[in-house]
Structure 1
Amino acid sequence: MGKSKTIYSTKGIFTKLLEDTEKEHFLIPTYQRGYKWSSEEDNSQVKVLLNDLYSAYSNSSERYYLQFITLKDSKQAFEVIDGQQRLTTLTVLFGLFFAKLKGEDNFIANKLNYQIRKNFLEEFIYTNGGIQKITLFETWEEFISENKEHNNQDVFYLFHATKTIDKFLSNIPNDELLKFFNYIANKVQIIVNVLDNEMNSEKIFINVNKGVKLKDEDLVKGLLITKIPLDNKDEKYRLTENEINEIRSLLGKQWDEISHWANRKDIVSFYKQKSDGGIGWIIKLAYPSINSIKSDIPIFTYLSEQYQKGEKATKIFERIYSIKLILDDWFNIPEIHNLLGFLLHSENNYTLSKIWNEVNGISTKKDIIKILKEIIIKEIPFDESIQSLKELNYNDNKSELFTVFLSLDIIKCLPINKEVIDFYNFKLINDENWSIEHIFPQNPEDLKNITDFSHKEIDILKELLPDKINEDEISVKDADEKDKIINLLSKIKNTTDKLCIADTEKSALVYLLSKNANDLHRIGNLALLELGINSSLSNNFFDKKRKKIASKVSLGRFVPFHTYDVFSKLIIKEKTNLHIWSRSDILEHEKYINERINELFIYLKQI
């Protein structure tokens, strides 16, 4: 017998499959139940299939997949183990197409052989004249009154299926009928599973759903589990049927195990995958070439090709399963978890697939950690020669700043300076939107609702702003606005008590702080805040922000470790006022950041 493919069009089932395998027809054995698909109700199997097919055609779907058919090699024929109802319905459907479309090659004739209903098919289904006879009868009673020899349950269902399909096709405009026929014949696909001819046909059962468009990974699951017996075909020892069923059962459980793991919320979040991604992302790690396949079912298309080329289904499955085990190990080893999580969740170009390419083939924990450390060193903008971060601009380097602040958080969970190694919860990072924000307000949005400055805040403004500013240094064309800026600076410098900012002066304040208070742009005046929390803090100075953050934490909201330490002033070594954020605090914070990043680099260099 020639080797069959895994997937065929519906036309190919009746033509190419039989040609490839040198078979004459499909055989429906006597032990199987007869044709039982209902067709009269709206939710009947025949109507659901017809509606699904027409919907796929109307939506111009590239392909539409019906469920598996399972066949057994039986000399000149294929014994249909599972799929009788679908094949029979398709046979009737094509028979009616051929009756309505003159000149089309009748490729179904004598291809489906019912051991107990052969005469009916030959008389009424395979020929244009025969199938047209059925459509002329209004009722089942009229039909059997003239065809008493066909008065049985199988023919009853076939009669009604024929009438239903005929009515459905009659409602399709003539200019569309040929297009619909060609779509079903060439674009509707069926996956074929051919069993060993020594298996006991009557004991084989595979659950299927008629007319369901299958997901890519469902097709792969079916392909691998049903093809496992063929892996042993050429070996001296042939598996028994019980052994085959045990293997399939085990593989099914392992597949479900992979699927459950791959869809866990913590796993999906940690590895930055789509919540509805199934296990496709794991399979693509095993076979990255899938990403270049142009198909609506790229995974199945690629793996079925690999199988046709000789890669055993068992090996394909083992490769997928082994990657799940590796990823699970990484997730559960704290140090790898934290290093890998940092790369995945910091704003760089490292995806899981890119990291996988870097570490693929590395088996030891030590070597994996070494490679992850080397990658991280390249991602943090730190100049080791001066033990300081490279200059980062708030407006232009927000991704780099996010990376720095995330690293400051993760340091607390790494074995640095006797820190207890622990799992960092990246899900808390992944589930929120984050922003880099000024601790002492600087942005126009931050300042728009601020009207009063206390004497302490005035002291900070004096500290941050220059003593004076010349008119030619102001990059504003409007003369009145220039005067406002100069006058407001003088007002700030000469105020010793409370300062009120009028609405007309706010634009001048924004200009002074954004253009002249250079220390406000330093990394020491920045912190990582969740967007929702930041929106409630932006119109406040440090003391109110500090109190609100403490309140958020007490209510169970997540605030990054480093951010909390900043607003609690736990990182400020010098004597400082807990209620204000001064220029010295900005500089002290920046010093602390550089010290911690330097400690991180010392750890990263320990290979």
Structure 2
Amino acid sequence: MECIDFKLNDTNQVSSKVINFNTLASELKLSIPDYQRPYVWKIKQTRMLLKDIENTKDGALLGSIILHEIKRDDKTIYEVIDGQQRLTTIKLILTALNNHDELKEDLKEYDNYLNDVSFFHKISQDNIKINYEYIKNYLSDKDKAKDFLENLENTQFIIVATTKADDAFIFFDNTNSKGKKLESYDLIKAFHLQSIKNEKMLNKWAKYYESLFEEKCKTQPNIKTLLLKFLIPTRLWIKGSSRDNKFDKVAFNELCHEDLNGKRATNMGILSNYKYGDDFFKYLRKYEKIYKFILEKNNNFFKYLWKPHSNVGNLNTFDGLMICLVLCESKFKNSEEILASLLRVVYSHRLLEDRVNCPKNAKDLVKHIYFASYASEVEKLLEKKGQKCQEEELKANKTIKAKTHNELTAYLDNFYKNFENKIVYKHKYNDERKK
């Protein structure tokens, strides 16, 4: 067995080697940091890996592994930055192979392989259980299992090791053809967590972020909603971007900034930038709480609004409404006061266009709300916009009778039932619904 020495030091901070699995697993103390995403491989990816190992000749190359070398209690630990899905699956393979008494002795040298890794996320636990059962059945034949272990030990990896976390992240292989491409929210989490040195804080924010993946209830926004249907479109629209979809393509660059020259930027509200770390998660949690507050506060009313399950990258009218409400609440704490007039303006375009993916009016409002100094400015703007909406609707000759079977009818009826005493704008629907 070869001895691994990456020879990393202050002048040589990156090194790479091609080594077989036997050497990797028995010589290196590997650890999967908490900021990594959950174990997401399904049977499809597991089966592909099993086939690659089973059909290997003279040591198949199973891709690259990115490691961050750290010192802990005078021991050298290698944190897995990229490759955790493959390495975790191989851990399941070794566990399944250990069911054969004939292989137990051979497997002892791998007792320390990922032995202190814990998977607290339910997504990881569910996938581990399903994949392990599949692997155990796949390797149930003892002769097949013996040959498989020999093949596994001879498989090879390109190992890239570095002492700098930033370099490790730059090398992050997010296009591994054998696995699942990392999503923008995975990269954002890794970027901000990898810089937190306090283990207690790292675990806290890692668990908080992972909790946002869970579908708890209708009033609990998940990470996809927060990033791709609120934070990213809001920031881009304020800056004047014309982008209306595929926000996941720009999410990482928008929320992860490499260099602020060590100077703290002025608090710019939702446009604030954070190099990395604790402040970003506080920023995320702030808007998550506001978003959740508005959903809970208005849940009985919102349930009458048509909220289709559109693609993550596409915004519908309700998303536009929520963007404006959260922005107003974060600045002026007046979301309840302006809900009726805001909804009147935002949903007018939904009516005129007769389609769900049309947050145009919301997009036109966002920049005005962000730069407003007083809540009264927003209220006057909505009054002006409401009058214009009324004119456009009358000009287009849109009537509620023409939309008797449209989901929008329910919205209009409920709108007036709940807000007739508050609404400022009187338009033709108020008379139409009484006919």
Q: TM-score range by the shorter chain?
A: 0.3 to 0.5
Give the structure, 1 or 2, with the largest relative contact order (CA under 8 Å, sep 6 or more). 2
TM-score (norm 2): 0.42
